[in-house]
Chain A
């Protein structure tokens, strides 16, 4: 697992990339240790892809430096590309060649002989569950099949570091589970360092040792998922998720909501799509909540104090960054919104971002 005593294997120093007026990546300082799985999170256009491109020397930084294994990614791009396997988002293959031939071609580009590449291709195809379609033309593959083949392609060169841009986009749930296991095993058994950019918070939470949250080219938070949760608590944010039942029915009456809201320092009361209740407060109100529910004759199931849930952490940090950008304008926001807007909080991240955006416009 992550070995933090050694030097970081991926390191960026004040890395910047501007596209005209747009700061796609803004003074990024990132360190990833050998054997670690690092999740890069951020909304669309946050600069995740740009960062990965600079790490591979495919795009030149405007200023700052990126190093992999101590090698400057811009100047020693060839050596870096020898070590690093890259899975671009929307990966493509030569449509007129079979999946297997595509892999063999990649292997030979990395200096394997044709026979070795063939053996390796067979092994990697098996690993990503693509053997059944290996001898069909890659042009006939579906998006998810291409994605799986892409992962096999990355493994062809026996990399030390793997950079994946949205590796599980388009893969079916069973496949995602298999890929998650595969990715964890790569880190655990083969000691490969992984940098994964993704929107899929739950998946990132499951496979990453550490995550970095990106907004507008800046990394606004970085660390272990639990640490990030704790950090939020230190800043006075406590979150509780639970299911309340009365007589076997899920409880969500207005009186009940009102009662919770009356507890001092509660800022948000809402219900998730799955029927569980979400409460946020500025201090630890666990005891008061429990007392309230005992008084009401409500049974509590699955009460957990979140902060460990990346979804919440992500949202909080993201909102914080947006607020900072807006200046003091929306300081009172969380208070006003209690209840109403949260009630049917959309689960999908994209919808959520859209909501934040539209709020910004107002």
Chain B
């Protein structure tokens, strides 16, 4: 097993595709970091006039603040992460079939599941390496660029955030691997994965509000007023099917200790009556545990589907 795993991992590291992906992601993050520094510098200079308060978690803002004409790092991760995962996974199995190496591999004295497990683990390792190395670089450059030193809690939050980002990307890779088993051609599998990604990222919210509006119509009538909460809950629930939405909520809570919940009630509450203070890391984590569980479950579910369909697949030239 480790022989295959090592080969897969070195394949990833040596492949042009992965190197391009890596540098693309790194470049985008650095540009976003630069944008964030600019914005923060502006608001900091405003602060000295006494107009805005400085956040205690200044350093985290480097990840979530967008520049004047560029998105923030966290937005980029949420958006490009899936592309990264899909690129790693979409041709895992069908490429082997096309090369004619799968039946030779399957004829070696290994269990068949070793093949797909090694592939997944190698991809996951590559994702973790990428995310953490880029995250580390961004942190380091951010420290140099701004002169801010992250506190222990900030570091912990960043680490958790990077972990979640890795799992998020792995989820998409698992989905792409599922398609790589079921589709005979790499192109079909890539297009299917990208279609799902676009759907979940762009159109899920439209669909969710549509369905929620149908099930619980809101309006001026009494019934409509009563429905508002149910409508909102259903909408959010549907949205949370999408790993993209889950990840963006996780980002918000982890990187922004001001945010105390993702539920409607507490959002309404906090706007007028909450005490202005921050959530501790433990409290923040408590908020997102369901998100973590669901995201993990989605990753496992996609991988399990890929696994099962691979085990059932007939290997033939």
- Which residues of chain A have a CB within 8 Å of any CB of chain B? 49, 53, 56, 58-59, 78-79, 81-82, 84-86, 88-96, 105-106, 108-111, 150, 153, 157
Contact = CB atoms under 8 A, between A and B. Distances in A.
Nearest to B102: A92
Given A94-B99, A105-B3, A108-B3, A88 B109 contact: no
Given A49-B316, A49-B317, A53-B315, 6 more contacts: A58-B315, A59-B314, A81-B110, A105-B7, A109-B108, A157-B109
A92 B316 CA distance: 12
16 contacts: A49-B316, A49-B317, A56-B107, A78-B109, A78-B110, A81-B107, A81-B109, A86-B103, A88-B317, A90-B100, A92-B104, A93-B101, A94-B11, A105-B3, A106-B108, A109-B109
Interface string B91-119: 00000000111011111111100000000
B310 to A, nearest CB: 13
Contacts of B103: 58, 86, 88
User: Size class of B's contact patch?
Assistant: 20 to 34
A93 B316 CA distance: 15
B100 A96 contact: no
Contacts of A88: 100, 103-104, 107, 317
Which residue, A59, A88, A89, A111, has most C-beta atoms of chain B within 10 A?
Answer: A88
Contacts of B105: 109
Contacts of B104: 86, 88, 91-93, 106, 150, 153
B14 interface: yes
A109 B316 contact: no
A92 B108 contact: no
- State the 3 A-B residue pairs at the shortest beta-carbon distance, nearest first: A92-B100, A86-B107, A82-B109
Given A81-B108, A96-B11, A90 B314 contact: no
B182 to A, nearest CB: 18
Given A49-B316, A59-B314, A96-B14, A109 B101 contact: no
A78 B111 contact: yes
B4 interface: yes
Contacts of B3: 105, 108-109
Contact of B107 (A58, A79, A95, A111): A58
A59 B99 contact: no
A49 B315 CA distance: 11
A81 B115 CA distance: 15
A95 B99 contact: yes
A59 B111 contact: no
A95 B100 CA distance: 11
A124 to B, nearest CB: 15
Interface in B173-187: none
Interface in B218-267: none
B317 A90 contact: yes
A111 B3 CA distance: 9
Contacts of B4: 109
Contacts of B14: 96
Contact of A91 (B100, B315, B316): B100
A91 B99 CA distance: 8
A85 B108 CA distance: 8
A92 B99 contact: yes
A90 B102 CA distance: 11
Contacts of A106: 104, 108
Nearest to B11: A96
Contact of A110 (B15, B101, B109, B316): B109
Contacts of A59: 314-316
Contacts of B7: 105
Contacts of A91: 100, 104
By CB atoms of chain A within 10 A, which of B3, B101, B104 has the most? B104
Contacts of A84: 107
Contacts of B101: 92-94
A154 to B, nearest CB: 9
Contact of B108 (A53, A89, A110): A110
B99 A109 contact: no
A324 to B, nearest CB: 29
A153 B101 CA distance: 12
Nearest to A139: B99
Contacts of B108: 81, 106, 109-110, 157
Q: Which of B7, B104, B107, B110 has the most CB of A within 10 A?
A: B107
A90 B111 CA distance: 23
Contacts of A86: 103-104, 107
Contacts of A90: 100, 317
Contacts of A56: 107
A138 B2 CA distance: 23
